[in-house]
Amino acid sequence: MSKHDQNEDPHDDDRSRNAANIGVAVVVVILLVVGYWLINALIRQSKLEDCMLAHRRDCIAVEAPRT
């Protein structure tokens, strides 16, 4: 065995692996949230376009100002 192998702490390897796993999990969650938001935005846009192509005038809800 080399001098470097004898001085390594096996817990350091576990810590770095755990940190990498947490990092990957965070990235996956972020991608899922962004993907969910993007899909919903595309669905809303598609419904709006379908409504407008049908020549309807009530496609976008307009709120009256409160007095």
Q: What is the pLDDT of residues 5-55, one digit of tens each?
A: 555 666 778 888 999 999 999 999 999 999 999 999 999 999 999 999 998
Output the pTM of the full model.
Answer: 0.65
CB atoms within 10 A of CB 51: 14
C-alpha to C-alpha distances, 3 to 9, 12, 40, 67, nearest whole angstrom: 13, 17, 57, 80
Q: Is the pLDDT of residue 1 over 50?
A: no
